[in-house]
């Protein structure tokens, strides 16, 4: 695979190798991708946690105020809202 990097990114990669932090440009990019993957997974986990919290707030609000979903369960509502 050949990848064209913007000059600023290429300079950063080159400096990381020249400084001795990494053995090669490939090592720099491999670590960058690994960090990106971790951030993506953490972001997905955070979004799922926010969704669970929103459902719980909705459930609590409904119970406190005696609201009905017109026969629909929270699970059905949640599943309908999922992309």
- pLDDT by residue (tens digit) across 13-29? 999 999 999 999 999 99
* Banded pLDDT at 70 (limits 50, 70, 90): confident
Enter the pTM of the model.
0.56
Query: Within a domain: residue 14?
Result: yes
* Banded pLDDT at 43 (limits 50, 70, 90): confident
Whether the Cβ atoms of residue 44 and residue 51 lie closer than 8 Å to each other: no
Query: Within a domain: residue 3?
Result: no
Query: Within a domain: residue 64?
Result: yes
pLDDT of residue 60: 87
Placement of tokens 């105020």 in the chain? 65
- Structural domains of the chain, count: 1
pLDDT of 61 strictly over 90: no
Give the structural domain span for 65: 8-81
Q: Is 53 helix (H, G, I), strand (E, B) or coil?
A: helix
């Amino acid at each position: 695979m050949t990848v064209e990097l913007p000059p600023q990114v290429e300079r950063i990669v080159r400096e990381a190798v020249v400084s001795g932090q990494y053995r090669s440009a490939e090592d720099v990019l491999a670590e960058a991708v690994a960090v990106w993957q971790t951030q993506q997974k953490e972001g997905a986990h955070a979004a799922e946690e926010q969704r669970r919290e929103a459902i719980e707030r909705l459930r609590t609000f409904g119970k406190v105020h005696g609201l009905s979903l017109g026969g629909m369960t929270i699970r059905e509502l949640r599943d309908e809202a999922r992309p």
